[in-house]
Homo-oligomer: A and B are copies of this chain.
Amino acid sequence: MSDFLPFPDDSPHEECGVIGVYAPHEDVARMTFFGLFALQHRGQEAAGIAVADGESIHLHKGSGLVAQVFNPANLEPLKGHYAIGHTRYSTTGSPAARNIQPFLIETMYGPLAVAHNGNLVNAGELRQSLLRRGIGLSSSSDTEVLTMMLAGAHGSTWDERLRWAMPQWQGAYSLVVMTRDCVYAVRDPWGFRPLSVGMLPSGGHAIASESGALVTLGCQAIREVMPGEIIALSNKALTVSQALPPMAPLARCVFEHIYFSRPDSYWDDRWVHHVRQHLGEELARELPTPADVVIPVPDSSTPASIGYAFASGVPFNDGFIKNRYIGRTFIEPTDSLRKQGIAMKFNVISDNVRDKRVIVIDDSIVRGNTSGPLVHLLRQAGAKEIHLRITCPPIKHPCFMGVDMGTYNELIAHRLSVAEIQKHIACDSLYFLSLEGMMRAVGRTDGYCQACFTGQYPLAIDPNQTKTGFEKAAAS
């Protein structure tokens, strides 16, 4: 989960969370607000809600956390039975208001709103094709590309138009699409990003990026929107259609298990917390290490640490305290404060590590700028040995399907060997869970994208078409 403090954050970043609701007996805007709130960890830059009442669509969106963007006064006009919502990850590159979702347009088929989690790898080509058709584009977002393609899609129903467009979209898309009287869930055939649907106790259904948000809304009978499926929620019925055959194998993002998803979410028939515990257990089994305590880097590594302790017998305890008051500050420590070791985000509980051999569990190493300072804090607190254990293999390749891992140059494991990284971090030992160990913890042999570890992308990548590419184009 991202944060905004001066202390660097070395986790990959999820792009977005989406939600869709059809609830004939509820205040759908309020329900969508609470759903977005439960998906806040998937994006803290901006949020938006669009509501349809059978005739028109009304929209409110803005920059900031969900609770900052919405208030009773701006929710109040969002009346209707259908809603979609979006919460967006904070990139430094393109925080522009015009990129905030949902997108709302009028088309020859009526009004249309779209919210998207994912990334199209052929967005550059699709964008050029729209421009050549004489269409003006006002954002750098591939969601505008998706939306404009739907405005000109062929077909006599929205279901047909979605089926016309889907084969042209290469990459990750978990979409919620709303017309004046229907909410559609659409998921790419690879199944990159999660999407689930559940039944609301008061009637109707809800769609969300994670099952945990559906539970928050009281949903029952929750199931995944399957790869390649379109699910339509309306006052007639919930209809499910398999628009594209699912890819074989699928290419689910394993980082949902490792880092992104709420621990209480359920995906691919597994509880995320359970998978994380197993990641810790596998680590303990792959490289047994004599130690006095195992501590997590809070918060995402706590379940893996518990699992490590179960499997190894090394006692689990807290080692770091993380400041919970997450919020943007533009105030940076002076160099001199920094040199004194000002520890903004984490403090150590010295009592728990002094004179001890410490196993530290972290979820991943991306740019490699956080682990060193954490190890330094432990040393200052008197730890005798520091053994860093990572719950996934080294990340050597960027993601082009919607996760911000940084570029090749930014990835420390692309530039350095494990031994070199250990030296850089200055820990006593460093071990990354093996690919096989990770998959054992997930409990699958295939069906997951492993491109960031192996460089074998599940579909052809033209790096000129990546999002960075669009943004340059859009700004020029």
Chain A interface (Cβ within 8 Å of chain B)?
Answer: 1, 25-27, 30-31, 33-34, 37-38, 40-41, 44, 55-56, 65-68, 70-72, 75, 97, 103-108, 110-112, 128, 131-138, 147-148, 150-153, 180, 200-202, 212, 215-218, 262-264, 271, 273-274, 277, 299, 302-303, 306, 310, 315-318, 321, 323-331, 333-334, 336-337, 340-344, 347-352, 473-476
Distance, CA A342 to CA B202, complexed state (A) = 12
Identify which of B134, B302, B347, B474 contacts A264 (C-beta below 8 A).
B347
Ranked nearest first, the 8 interchain pairs of A and B with the lowest CB-CB distance are A134-B152, A105-B136, A136-B151, A218-B340, A108-B131, A67-B329, A271-B351, A40-B325
Q: A37-B325, A107-B134, A310-B315 are in contact. List 11 more A-B contacts (CB 8 A).
A: A26-B334, A40-B325, A41-B325, A68-B327, A106-B136, A106-B474, A111-B476, A133-B134, A134-B135, A136-B150, A302-B318
Known interface pairs A33-B331, A333-B34; A218-B341 also in contact (CB < 8 Å): yes
Report Cα–Cα, A34/B162, bound state, in Å. Answer: 48
Choose one: B30, B107, B137; the contact of A337 (CB below 8 Å): B30
Q: Which residues of B contact A1 (CB under 8 A)?
A: 324
Given contacts A135-B152, A333-B34, contact A347 B212 (CB under 8 A): yes
Partner of A342, one of B34, B136, B150, B343: B34
Q: With A and B bound together, what is the CA distance between A315 and B316 in angstroms?
A: 10
Q: Given the complex, which residues of B lie within 8 Å of A75, measured CB to CB?
A: 331
Give min CB distance, A258 to chain B, whole Å: 16
Complex: chain B residue closest to A106, CB-CB = B137
A75 to B150, CA, bound (A): 36
**Nearest chain B CB to A140's CB is how many angstroms away?**
9
Copies per complex?
4
Query: Given A27-B334, A72-B330, are A137 and B105 also a contact pair (CB < 8 Å)?
Result: yes
Q: For A215, list chain B residues within 8 Å (CB).
A: 343, 347
Q: How far is the CA of A232 from the CA of B317 in the complex (A)?
A: 39
A-B contact pairs, 10 of them (CB 8 A): A30-B331, A41-B325, A44-B325, A67-B327, A68-B327, A106-B473, A110-B476, A111-B476, A216-B347, A316-B316
Closest Cβ neighbor of A348 among chain B residues: B264
- CB contacts (< 8 Å) of A348 on chain B: these are 264
Residues of B within 8 A of A107 (CB): 131, 134, 136-137
Residues of B within 8 A of A41 (CB): 324-325
Cα distance A327–B328 when bound, in Å?
12
Least CB separation from A114: chain B residue: B136
Docked complex Cα distance between A215 and B381 (Å): 11
Q: Which residues of B contact A148 (CB under 8 A)?
A: 135-136
Q: What residues of B have a CB within 8 angstroms of the CB of A330 in the complex?
A: 71-72
Complex Cα–Cα for A175 and B99 (A): 26
B318 touches A72 (CB 8 A): no
Q: Is A336's CB under 8 angstroms from B26's CB? A: yes
Contact A264 B350, beta carbon cutoff 8 Å: yes
A331 to B315, CA, bound (A): 42
Candidate in A274, A310, A475 with the most chain B CB atoms within 10 angstroms: A475
Residues in B neighbouring A201, C-beta threshold 8 A: 340
**A38: min CB distance to chain B, Å:** 7
Considering only CB atoms, which chain B residue lies closest to A218 in the complex?
Answer: B340
Look across to chain B and name the residue whose beta carbon is closest to the beta carbon of A302: B318
Contact at A337–B136, with CB atoms within 8 Å?
no
| C-alpha spacing A216/B5, complex, angstroms | 14
A306 touches B310 (CB 8 A): no
